[in-house]
Amino acid sequence: MLHTEVLLTQISLNPSLSSNPLSASSKAKLATMQSPVRVQQFILGRMLLAQAATRVLGFDYAVADIEEGEFFPYLSKAAHLHASISHSGDSLGVTVNAERVGLDIESCRPKANIAKLAAFALHQDEASWVNAVAAESQERFYLLWTLREAAFKAGIRDQVIRGSSLIIDGHIKLAWHWGSAREPLYRASIACRAPCTMVLIHKTHL
C-alpha cells in the first residue's frame, strides 16, 4: 500500500519568496511569467516540492535540483521519484512518491449553474449522479472533477478522456485507486494505479 503524503499550504501565507534557490531551468520558465500571483505560485510550488522530496528521501533535497520538464517539474537528483503539483485559489499542494500519483486541488466555490456545468463537463451518467440530490450536487461535482484531473496527471487517461463514466449503477467504480478529502475551502484528490492511502499535511510558512 502506497502511503501518499500531500503537503498543502496557503499561497497568501508566503508573500515574499526569492527565486534565488531555483534551478536554471526553473528561473528560465519563471522569466516568462508576468503575473506576480503566478510567480509566487511557481516559486512556492518548487519550494514545497523540495520539502516533500526531503520527507521521502530522508535527507535535504535542494530546490535547485528541481528541473522543468515539458509539462511537469521533476527531481533531477532522484529520478526514481514522481512529483505532482496542483493549485487553485489560495491553496497549493504537492506530492512526491515512488509510484506515479496524480494530485488535483480545486477551490469549492458554490456554482449557481452546477446542473448545466455538470452536463457540459462530465459524462452523462456522472451528470445524472451529480444532479440526483440537489443538496449534494456541489460536493459530487468537485469530487468527480478532481478525480478526473488527478487521473489525467497520473497517466491514467483511458477512463477519463475516452467517453467512459466514473459512475456505474450510481456508484464510483474505477479501474485504478484513489483518495479524496474535503477541506473547508477546497477538495484534494489523488489517483494512482497502485493501492494507496492519502494523508494531508498542512504547512504554514515555508
Q: For 10-58, how does the pLDDT look when each residue is reduced to its tens digit (9 = 90+)?
A: 999 988 899 999 999 999 999 999 999 999 999 999 999 999 999 999 9
In the chain, ranges of CATH 3.90.470.20 domains: 2-105+177-202
135 beta partners: none
> Does position 131 have pLDDT exceeding 80, yes or no?
yes
d(CA 131, CA 198): 27
What local confidence, expressed as pLDDT, does residue 9 receive?
96
Average pLDDT of the segment spanning 83-103: 97
Q: Decide if domain 2-105+177-202 falls under CATH 3.90.470.20.
A: yes
What local confidence, expressed as pLDDT, does residue 16 receive?
84
Average pLDDT of the segment spanning 107-129: 93
Least reliable range by pLDDT among 31-35, 69-73, 124-128: 69-73
Arithmetic mean of pLDDT over the chain: 95
Q: For 153-184, how does the pLDDT look when each residue is reduced to its tens digit (9 = 90+)?
A: 999 988 787 778 999 999 999 999 999 999 99
pLDDT-derived band at 64, boundaries 50, 70, 90: very high
Average pLDDT of the segment spanning 118-133: 94
Are 187 and 95 contacting, i.e. CB atoms less than 8 angstroms apart? no
What local confidence, expressed as pLDDT, does residue 159 receive?
79
Largest alpha-carbon pair distance within the chain?
53
Distance set, CA 192 to CA 1, 84, 156, 204 (Å): 11, 12, 8, 27
Are 130 and 114 contacting, i.e. CB atoms less than 8 angstroms apart? yes
Average pLDDT of the segment spanning 74-88: 96
C-alpha cell at 137: 450536487
Where b means 16+ CB within 10 Å and e means fewer, 101-125 reads: bbbbbbebeeeeebeebbbeebbee
Listing from the earlier edge strand, what are the strands of the sheet with 91-97? 82-88, 91-97, 2-10, 196-202
C-alpha cell at 57: 528521501
What local confidence, expressed as pLDDT, does residue 191 receive?
98
3-state helix, strand, coil in the chain (%, to 5): 35, 30, 35
- Indicate the DSSP class of residue 166: S
Least reliable range by pLDDT among 117-131, 133-147, 152-166: 152-166
